[in-house]
Structure 1
Amino acid sequence: MTICLACEQQTTGKYLCARCTTRLDGQLSLMPALYDALEAHLRPSSQVSTAVGSGCPRPDAPLPVAEPALDMRGPGGMVTVLETWRQAVHEDAGQHWPSPFGDYRGRVRRASAGLRGLLPYITREWQQAGTFAEEIRDLHASARSIIAPQERPLRAGTCTWTDEAGEVCGAVLLATPGRPVVCRWCRASYPASSWLDLAAEVAKAA
C-alpha cells in the first residue's frame, strides 16, 4: 500500500488514488468549458463610436476590465498552467512535446485532452502527481469562483428555538438569501420564505 499524494489516503501502488484520479480527470475535462465561460465575465477596455455629425470615430472613455477573468484567459493563466504541466509530464516520460499552436481556446482544449490522455502515467509513475493535482484543483476552483461565486452568508439574528425547559437556543443564525436557514447548533430550520416571520421572532425573543 502507498499513500495518495493528493489526499494522503492509502492506495494500491499508485501516486493518486482512484477517487482523486476521477476528480482530476473531471476537472481537466471542464477546462475548455470554463475558459469559454470566463469570456462572459470580461469587460471591454475601450469602445470606438462615431459622434453624431462628426463623421469621424472617437474612443469612448475606457470601461473597466474584470481583471481576474482577464488573468485566467490571458498569458500566464489557464493556458500557461495546462501547457506547462503537459510539457513537464512529456519530458519526464521521455516523450516528444508537441509545440503549442493556434488561439488560446484551442490550446486549452488540446492541453486538457493531452493531460487526460497522460493520466495513466501520471497516477502510476509520476512523482509530481500530487502537486499537479493540487494546482489543477486550484485552477478549477479559481475559474469557478469567477463564473459562479458563492454568496456570503449574512447574519440573520439569533435562533429562537426553545427547548422543553423553556431555554432559548440563542445561537447566531447565518443565512444565504433564498435558502432555508438552519441553526448550526440545534439544527432548527427556518424556511427561506419566512424571513419576515424570522425577523419578528428574533425581535420578540430579544
Structure 2
Amino acid sequence: MSTCELCDSETGSRYLCTRHRDRLGEQLAALPALYAEVGEYLVPRQTGWGEIVATRAAAGPRSPINEDVLDTVNWGRATEVLSSWRTDIRRVRWPHRDGAPAARLDADCAWLVRELDWIAGNYLAAGDFAREVWTLYTQARSVVGDPEPRVQRLGYCVATVDDKGTVCGAVLTRLPNEPLACRWCGASYTTATDLLLLEYYQPKKVA
C-alpha cells in the first residue's frame, strides 16, 4: 500500500492521490495564461539580460515581493522548468525514443496534463514534480496580486470509525469554500448540525 507524496493519504500503488493529481492538472492548465499576465507586469532591466522589474501597478492590494524571488518569476524560467520535466517524464516512459520536443510553455503544459494519469501512477518523482509546479504557480499568482489561498486547519475529526465508538481524530483541513471532509475516514461535515457537533466535540483547552 502506498501513500500520496503530498498528503500521506492512501493511494493503492499510486504516487499522487486523486485530489492532488487533479490540483496539479488545474495548475498546469492555468500556467500559460498566468505567466502571460506576469509578463504584463515585468520587463527587462537596463542593467543586464534576463533581469526583470515591475512596470504596472495592479488594481487592488499587491503582495510584497522579494526582488531576488521576482527575478526567477518569468515566462522563460517557467518554460525551462516545465520543459525539463517533460523531457525526463518522456525519457522514463519511452526510454528508446530519441530527441526532445522544443521547449514551449503552452505545449509542455498541455502534454503534461494529458500524461497526468501515468505520472500519478508510475512516475517516481511525481511528488517533486507537483511541488515544483506548485512553486511556479504560487510565485506567479503573488506577482499578479492574486496569492494562492491558504489551507485552513479546522480541528480534529470527531466521527466514530468502529462499533466501539473509536473517534477518528485526524486533523481536518481544506481550502476556503471547499467541502469539509476527513481524508482518513471519509466523514463529511456538510450541514449546520454537523459543524456544531464538530465544534462541540473538539478537545477542550486546559487553562
Identity of aligned residues (%): 31
Write the distance in 1 (CA, Å) between the matches of 2:75 and 2:20.
28
Q: Tell me how large the CA RMSD over aligned residues is.
A: 2.2
TM-score (norm 2): 0.55
Cα distance change, pair 74–136 in 1 and its aligned pair in 2 (3 A): closer
**Which of 135, 141, 149 pairs up with 1:144?**
141
Cα pair 1:28 1:112 within 8 Å, conserved: yes
Q: Is 1:73 the counterpart of 2:70 in the alignment?
A: no
Query: Partner of 1:111 in structure 2?
Result: 108
Cα pair 2:35 2:75 within 8 Å, conserved: no
Query: How many residues of Structure 1 are paired with residues of Structure 2 in the alignment?
Result: 127
Write the distance in 2 (CA, Å) between the matches of 1:22 and 1:32.
17
Query: Partner of 1:20 in structure 2?
Result: 20
Query: Partner of 2:39 in structure 1?
Result: 39
Q: Which one-letter code corresponds to 1:143 in the other structure?
A: A
Q: Which one-letter code corresponds to 2:38 in the other structure?
A: L
Kindly report structure 1 stretches of 4+ aligned residues shifted beyond 6 Å.
none
Write the distance in 2 (CA, Å) between the matches of 1:136 and 1:45.
26
Cα pair 2:21 2:120 within 8 Å, conserved: yes
**Offset of residue 69 of structure 1:** 5.2
SS in 2 for 1:40: helix
Higher helix share: 1
Query: Partner of 2:194 in structure 1?
Result: none
Write the distance in 2 (CA, Å) between the matches of 1:69 and 1:41.
11
Write the distance in 1 (CA, Å) between the matches of 2:93 and 2:6.
20
Write the distance in 1 (CA, Å) between the matches of 2:75 and 2:142.
17
TM-score (norm 1): 0.56
Cα pair 1:42 1:69 within 8 Å, conserved: no
**Offset of residue 109 of structure 1:** 0.1
Cα pair 1:29 1:113 within 8 Å, conserved: yes
**Offset of residue 7 of structure 1:** 1.5
Write the distance in 2 (CA, Å) between the matches of 1:4 and 1:138.
18
**Deviation digits for residues 83-126 of structure 1 (CA, Å, limit 9, x no counterpart):** 0000010001125453216xxxxx11001011111111111111
> Runs of 5+ in structure 1 lacking a partner?
47-63, 102-106, 151-206
